[in-house]
Amino acid sequence: MIRVVTKSMEGPFQVVEGTDAAQSAIERWRGGRERIWLDLISADAGEVDVIRRQLHFDEHSLEDAVRGDHPPKVEEVGPEGDRPAYMFVVAVAPTGETEGALESIALFLKERLLITFHSKPSVSIDEALSRLLRDPSQTIGRGIEFTAHAVLDEMVDEYDKLLDSFDARIERLEGHLEKEDTQQIFPRVLRLRREASLIGRHARAMRDVMACLSREGHPLVKAKARLAFRDIYDHVVRANDRLENQREAIYSIRDAHLALANHRMNEVMKALTVVAVISGSLAVLTGLLGMNYQLPFQEHPNAFWASIIAMAVISSSIIAFFRWRRWI
């Protein structure tokens, strides 16, 4: 599906859908009368072909755009023949749908033209469109770069939501660290660590993308838009710092859990050692009493109770000795 968002220099803000509407908007864009945002959702081959024929984007850029799983990147593609220069950006952000779920959005930026590709409906795109509808004069009315800014800003906000959920999960793990069984808590720690590592890779790449967009030297990004992108860059830097602190907290929980598990194992081994020593001592005594020859007191009527008392004394002595040495 192609969603077409248009804003003429003096006219109203419009949102329509369809391939025909996209082609008509591109013709008006060539006339220099409108700013256009084409949003392609799960684009089929025919819709991609329309973009290819009408705008002559580089084939490698289109392949990366329709993949849906490309890591974050930004590149400037120079003019070639009738095709003017354009900027190609791939941004990745968490979706919050499931643990570790990510979405990738590709953006093509030209003078007065923005095209976005994504493989499924995007909350970030919908929120950016809502922002345009609320105040078009501060977004697409200021320049098409501010529409791209709205999309990227909403995507970076998703990192904060995910990091908030990481904080809550870390607090729960810390609270249950001494209460839950190893088989219950340790897989949760490993799963959280994997998610944090995955998000960290994309967050660092997003930081590089935003740093590139906020630097001078891009003719398609005006000075006022660079300031807006610099604000997103600062946001991503803070998210990376926060994520790094969370990863350290996860490693600390893992180390503390392993230390507690070792401590519990040591306590179990102490108890088993005491039982083994006492059992071994009593086995020696009962072995002597059961040997196949006559003992001096064997015929005494209280011989059985004497042996029981001897076993109790030996066991008590062993326990007292262990306690005196503070082994238990």
CATH number, residue 287 = 1.20.58
Same domain, 212 and 78: yes
CA distance 282 to 120: 73
- What are the pLDDT digits (tens) for 5-53? 887 766 677 888 888 888 888 888 888 778 888 998 888 888 888 888 8
Around 49, how many Cα atoms within 13 Å sit in the side-chain half-sphere? 3
Same domain, 251 and 273: no
Same domain, 220 and 285: no
Q: Which of 175, 109, 119, 95 is nearest to 147 (CA)?
A: 109
Supply the mean pLDDT for the chain: 83
Same domain, 233 and 303: no
Per residue of the chain (328 residues), give pLDDT as tens. 888 888 776 667 788 888 888 888 888 888 877 888 899 888 888 888 888 888 888 888 888 888 878 889 988 887 777 677 888 999 999 886 666 688 899 999 888 889 999 988 888 988 988 888 888 777 887 888 888 999 999 999 999 999 998 999 888 888 877 675 666 788 888 888 888 988 999 999 999 999 988 887 677 778 788 888 899 999 999 999 999 999 999 988 888 888 888 878 888 888 888 888 888 877 877 777 776 666 666 667 777 777 788 888 888 888 887 788 777 7
pTM of the predicted protein model:
0.78
**Res 122: pLDDT:** 87
Let me know: does 117 contact 106? Beta carbons within 8 Å. yes
Same domain, 280 and 254: no
Same domain, 242 and 288: no
Same domain, 205 and 276: no
Q: How far apart are the first and last CA of the chain?
A: 72
Same domain, 186 and 164: yes
**Res 244: pLDDT:** 92
In the chain, the amino acid numbered 297 is: F
Let me know: does 208 contact 72? Beta carbons within 8 Å. yes
Domain-terminating residue out of 240, 260, 280:
260
Please tell me the total count of domains within the chain: 2
Domain containing residue 301: 267-324
Domain-terminating residue out of 237, 260, 283:
260
Domain-terminating residue out of 260, 276, 307:
260
Same domain, 89 and 210: yes
Same domain, 188 and 288: no
**Res 84: pLDDT:** 79
**Res 183: pLDDT:** 65
Same domain, 48 and 148: yes
Same domain, 213 and 301: no
**Res 134: pLDDT:** 85
- What are the pLDDT digits (tens) for 285-324? 777 777 666 666 666 777 777 778 888 888 888 888 778 8
**Res 208: pLDDT:** 92
